[in-house]
Structure 1
Amino acid sequence: MTLDRNATTQFRTQSGGGMEAACRTEIVRHHEVIQRWINGKVSRTASDFAAFADAHTPDFTLIEPSGTTLTRVRVFAAVKDAYGADPDLEISITDVTLVTATDTAIVATYKEHHHHPDGPTQSRHATVVFIPSAETMRWRHLHETRIVNA
């Protein structure tokens, strides 16, 4: 993969507010897309699913809280199957922190909280690796760890 050596600088300038703000914006945007899909509040179409899928690099991986590593194919299958599965789910994001940013990668951490009106909040601490371009950041790797007693 060839990257524009100035991609991080260009993206930082376009995002207006620094790299940490850009990370926060992308992380929140992405989880809003996931929440609407799981709530069934978007159409079950390829274009609506693309709002999720297009945010990932072809070699995306996810390490689940259980320690299982999932490929992009497995993550996409799980998300497709979750359409409309939890109409009441609310996802919130807190504590976004920029770890590092270079011309080829951006690393950030955040906390993700799943709220249900009839149950306890489930939380996880996540570390994400983004690949920057002049226009956006794409998700390359995500590692989630369950937070007990959040």
Structure 2
Amino acid sequence: MIRDDIKAALVTAMKAGEKQDVAAIRLIQSAIKNRDIEARTGKAPEDDDALVVEVLQKMVKQRRESIEMYEKGGRAELAAVEAAEVAVIERFLPQQMSEDETRAAIEAIKAELGAGGMKDMGRVMAELKARHATTLDMSKASGLVKAALG
């Protein structure tokens, strides 16, 4: 499980004295713990790794947005800190599907559901998320689904 990998990486980073890695991993653990608390009141995903990947993907997205804003503001040192955090977070994410693999998965789902137009986008996206949520960037997939159905 990804949670176990994160815990082991924290211990390793602490023993090696890598302060930036320790800080980033603790941020990851904190975000996961917050998501666990939220999940108590709502419907939790059946797969624990899916929950963890969802949290990690959200963290990467937030940091990439921050990097972009820091670079626009001329704060290269802050952008570098965020980029270092992204590198640590991405170590725990499963390998993402390539664009070609994503297109193939979309076509398979489209054929399976008999989707023909934009009215079916919600169904295709829901099925895509159900099958490939941990290995797919859903924001990029959205554009590919629109292109496939449009």
Structure whose CA Rg is larger: 2
TM class, shorter-length? 0.3 to 0.5
Q: As a proportion of its length, which structure holds more helix?
A: 2
Q: As a proportion of its length, which structure holds more strand?
A: 1
Which structure has more relative contact order (CA 8 Å, sep 6+)? It is: 1
TM-score, normalised on structure 1?
Answer: 0.35
